[in-house]
Chains A and B, each alone.
Chain A
Amino acid sequence: MCYNPLNKVKCRVVHNNEIVPNIYDMSIDVGEMVKHINPGQFVNLYVKGGIHLLPRPISICEVNKKEKTIRVIYAVVGEGTKILSSRQKRDSIEVLGPLGKGFEISKGKGNILIVGGGVGTPPLLELAKILKEIYGEKVKLTIVLGFKNDIFLVDEFKNYGDVYIATDSGRQGYKGNVIEMIEDKLLPYIDTIDYLYSCGPTPMLKGLQKFNIKHSIKGEFSLEERMGCGFGACVGCVIPIRNSVNKDSINLTKETMKDNDYIYKKVCKDGPVFDCLEVIF
């Protein structure tokens, strides 16, 4: 039988550890699902607390085809993720996926800039791994990661490219945000960038969009929005997408856009990855 991502699968937790305060690293044995995942896709995890019905949609950080496991990294932000964090090795967990459309791998040749922020960083790890696997020497990854204070995954990213760190607190790496760091330290390199992939908090992506326009950089963003179902049925997690990308439309914001300027697309199904210039913040 062919694999269907919309069939819930009962899976086993392989491990679930807190790696820095409030951030958890979980591996799940998902069986055949591993063969069907693109970097940038996500899974629905169901916590089954009885009162928490909606899934936690969480991006896939890494796929281990041999072990048939996926790895997810998530922040504990509410009751649901708190329950998720209490899951232990050998516990069962229901998983739906992979969901959404991942990153466009075919664009990832040449000089690639990867920008991650906080818990937006994890899906970029699988992306970096796959780009290196496919393109080898034909791709050079420059990876810029921003965190509030505690850093994670940094050493693993170093396997695939040059890694630069920025922290808001200045505890490690550059003190400031990722865009400030790029403009301060990496400016000579900017002109050589062929493509950009990014995932992180909305303010970061909003800033990065301006940066991309200024430096004529093409690329894509993975977005987050509060989801209901995760597979396109409830039409809850929409994002305005520009009807056209031009000089006039590029300055539109959610506050200034008019009905004719945009269409709503579903983050869960049409995304979560979108062209970096099309999104209206």
Chain B
Amino acid sequence: MNLGVEFCGVQFKNPVFTASGTFNSGREFADVIDLNQIGAVIVKGVSNKPWKGNVTPRIAETYGGMLNAVGLQNPGIDVFIREDIPFLRQYDTKIIVNIVGRTVDEYVEVALKLANADVDMLELNISCPNIKEGGVAFGVDPNMAELVTREVKKVAKQPLIVKLSPNVTDITKIAKAVERGGADGISLINTLIGMKIDIHKRKTVLGRKTGGLSGPIIKPVAIRMVYQVRQVTKLPIIGVGGIMTGEDAIEFMMAGASAISVGTANLLNPRATMKVLDGIENYMKTYNLLDINKIVGIIE
């Protein structure tokens, strides 16, 4: 049974990755799951300087999901390179660094600092809805998306994936734009912008009013977008959005994803990635599927 996948020229032992922002750099999970079993750790977004993130409350529960407005709190690229890369390199898993910025220059600065670092791939985050400038501003405008992709690609030494925002009218336009910009792969989707009101207090639950909706509630939207993007580009896709089980992962792969990221499920059960991996194996056994790559994009 082959679970190995190739993505942008890099070999992964299996298609189960972790979605950025739900796994930090793996430390919180290392005692309870074997990080060697994960295809890749896509780490929490890293910026050029430390970011404080947003005010609290940052989390709100919703039907079948959650809203977050964490705002990419992170200690910055220097700390990441010094502490997190050596930590993750103890394990036989791939490192994909999610990079964030407020301006093109900030994104470029992070990619430059990573150029000589021991990481396998970059994931350009142009889709975080929780910061004022940058972030999603790049993700909803095809010209901006293309521009930032091109500038980062110029300095990047590792394959570059771009993570897309679902908060657009036509996701295919953004996908094509980042392809023109030189992206090697696409990751989708990031969270959907949402809001929750505490009717007893008559105010929004989140300190920042709006936040990103994630969890199983968004899965059908993500499946649809993976499918749509698959139709317009040859770039390989990482599918993400509400994956809780192996069956969910298989669904994403059939829609066109070559690999998948487990996100919110990590927060609900630290062993979620292992559960998804088990589920994929069970599916393969049930249908006598010898190679996981055979189901990628089989939905016409």
Asked if B270 and A232 sit within 8 Å, CB to CB, the answer is no
Contact with B along A220-259 (1 / 0, CB 8 A): 0000011111011111111100000000000000100001
Asked if B271 and A229 sit within 8 Å, CB to CB, the answer is no
Interface check B282, CB cutoff 8 A: no
When C-beta atoms are compared, the residue in chain B nearest to A262 turns out to be: B52
Q: Distance (Å) between the CB of A106 and the closest chain B CB?
A: 25
- One of A2-10, A131-139, A173-181 contacting the partner: A2-10
Interface check A53, CB cutoff 8 A: yes
CA distance A46 to B268 in the complex (A): 9
Give residues 200-238 of A contacting B (CB, 8 Å).
225-229, 231-238
Give residues 264-281 of A contacting B (CB, 8 Å).
264, 269
CA distance A238 to B264 in the complex (A): 18
Given known A53-B65, A231-B28, contact A7–B271 (CB-CB < 8 A): yes
Residues of A within 8 A of B266 (CB): 229, 233
Interface check B293, CB cutoff 8 A: no
Residues of A within 8 A of B59 (CB): 54, 226-228, 234, 236-237
Query: Count the A residues whose beta carbon is within 8 Å of the partner chain — how many?
Result: 31
- The interface residues of chain B, by DSSP majority, are classed as loop
Q: Distance (Å) between the CB of B24 and the closest chain A CB?
A: 6
Residues of A within 8 A of B73 (CB): 235, 238, 264
Asked if B268 and A235 sit within 8 Å, CB to CB, the answer is no
Asked if B56 and A238 sit within 8 Å, CB to CB, the answer is yes
Asked if B267 and A4 sit within 8 Å, CB to CB, the answer is no
Interface check B204, CB cutoff 8 A: no
Chain B interface residue bracket vs A: 35 or more
Given known A54-B66, A234-B70, contact A229–B268 (CB-CB < 8 A): yes
Asked if A233 and B61 sit within 8 Å, CB to CB, the answer is no
CA distance A54 to B269 in the complex (A): 10
A-B CB contact pairs (8 Å), 25 listed = A4-B32, A6-B31, A6-B270, A7-B271, A46-B268, A51-B63, A51-B64, A53-B66, A54-B59, A54-B61, A54-B66, A225-B56, A226-B60, A226-B205, A228-B59, A229-B266, A233-B23, A233-B270, A234-B59, A234-B267, A235-B44, A235-B58, A236-B57, A238-B73, A264-B73
* Chain A residues within 8 Å of B, Cβ to Cβ: 4, 6-8, 46, 50-55, 80, 96, 225-229, 231-239, 254, 259, 264, 269
Nearest 5 CB-CB pairings of A with B: A6-B32, A229-B267, A236-B59, A226-B57, A228-B59
